Structure 1
Amino acid sequence: MGQRLAGKRLYLGLALGWMGVLWLLSSQPATGAGLPHPWDKAAHFAAYALLGFLWQRGLGRFRPAFLLSALYGVVDEWHQSFVPGREAFGLDLMADFLGAYLGARGAGRWEALRGARP
């Protein structure tokens, strides 16, 4: 049980750290050298899929993992709207939500597969 709790704490710490990285990235003023469409949506998707995955592995439950990740996407888009040259887009938020959903859902399935091993 001790290793399992340590593993959950590790994932929770990684989720918080990843949130910090996302905040720092979205704090950077736009220089015009960002990813072109549609690759920017793919980056949003991947970033929030990782966040959903980390929260689900740390919390062990899909719903709170997804909700925390999706809510952070809202907060981060709002924050980004105040950064010079950056904007908050609904499509970015949709990519965040979809990534968070699939990341959290996938982490749960991965855990189920790991538990099914002999």
Structure 2
Amino acid sequence: MTEQTGESGWRRFAAYWGPVVGYAGLIFYLSAQSHPDDDLPSLFGAVNDKVLHALEYAGLSGLCYRAFRWGVPGTAASRAVVFSILTASLYGVTDEIHQLFVPFRESSWQDWLADVTGSMLGAVAAHRLSGMTWIAPFLPGVRSR
């Protein structure tokens, strides 16, 4: 078996894409709550809803960047910023559609725009951080320069 299809290939895939799937699942869970404000700590209550959307999707996009950059070979790795922005933004669309079916929740294009903004910021931040030598020990497969 080659490394791509062997056990180590699956471990690599799970190591990079598992956090993306887990984080997306957390977003789905939070979106399924009818009264999310009741479940948030009071610290978040004072923060604008759009800022929370942007932060939430910056995290998703950062994880997507990590997965595309080091979890897949070829073109996807070289275009990790673009693919992570697209992936997180498209997930934002599905999240807004999902909220249409949740009682007492509403969907809006402004929320999605905040998701896209956060996705862009997260991907660019992850790209910038990955180039810093002090962070290399925390990113498997990255050698410090």
Which runs of structure 2 are paired with 1:29-68 in the superposition (5 Å)?
Answer: 29-30=34-35, 33=38, 39-60=48-69, 61-68=80-87
Which residue is equivalent to 2:113?
A: 94
> What is the total number of aligned residue pairs between the two structures?
116
Which residue is equivalent to 1:112?
A: 131
CA contact (8 A) 1:70 1:96 kept: yes
What amino acid sits opposite 1:66 in the alignment?
A: I
Q: Residues 92, 84 of structure 1: CA spacing in aligned structure 2 closer, same or farther, 3 A cutoff? A: same
Report the TM-score when normalising by structure 2. 0.69
CA contact (8 A) 1:50 1:103 kept: yes
Find the aligned partners of 1:103 and 1:19 in 2 and give their Cα distance.
15
What amino acid sits opposite 1:93 in the alignment?
A: W
Greater C-alpha radius of gyration = 2
Identify which of structures 1 and 2 has the higher relative contact order when contacts are C-alpha pairs closer than 8 Å and 6+ apart. 1
SS at match of 2:132: helix
Find the aligned partners of 1:25 and 1:31 in 2 and give their Cα distance.
7
The alignment-based identity, stated in percent, is 33
Question: Unmatched 5+ residue regions in structure 2?
Answer: 1-8, 70-79, 134-141
Which residue is equivalent to 1:76?
A: 95
Deviation of 1:30 (Å) = 2.8
